[in-house]
Amino acid sequence: MTSASFEEKSTWVQLVGMVLGLGAYFVVAGRMLASGVRAMPAFAAVFMVAVAAMVVFLIIAYALVSLMGKQEPPDERDRLIVWRSEYNSGWVVAAGVLGAVTCMVLNVENVWTANLLLLSLALSEVLGCVLRIAHYRRGV
């Protein structure tokens, strides 16, 4: 990782932060759904705690990455990698929205629809990070 650019290290930080923070949320949310909890405020509280913990982690990790190496602005290769990764990961959100619309048509409880949307957003972001790292490692 010492040879990685600042942007690549930042992507790793973002990936780890999201997997830990949002992963923890979905583990807890899954257990709540399994135990019959359906109140949206309960899920919102868990989500806010998970996001707050993720933000704290990201701030500390970004600060450490900045201290460890030279901070450089993104260049054309970084921008191309971000563009390609987002282009190839956006379908996950689209699939989630389609699933949420289907849930609404089928009168599925709102808590499932909301969590499905959150899950698709989280998976899209994680896939985007994985694709960015793959482009950095294997080439564009």
Partner 1 sequence: MAIEKIVMRNTIRTLRFNAGEMTQQDLADRVGVSRQTINAIEASKYFPSLEVAFRIARVFGKPIEDVFECECRKK
- Binding residues vs partner 1 (CB under 8 A): 3-8, 72, 75-78, 136, 138-140
- In whole angstroms, how close is the CB of 21 to partner 1 at the nearest point? 27
Distance CA 104, CA 120 (A): 16
Q: Which is nearer to partner 1, 25 or 136 (CB)?
A: 136
What is residue 26's three-state secondary structure? helix
Q: Which is nearer to partner 1, 78 or 125 (CB)?
A: 78
Amino acid at 23: G
Q: Which is nearer to partner 1, 36 or 139 (CB)?
A: 139
- In whole angstroms, how close is the CB of 30 to partner 1 at the nearest point? 39
CB 104 within 8 A of CB 117: no
- In whole angstroms, how close is the CB of 9 to partner 1 at the nearest point? 11
**Counting Cβ atoms within 10 Å, is residue 81 exposed (0-12), middle (13-18) or buried (19+)?**
buried
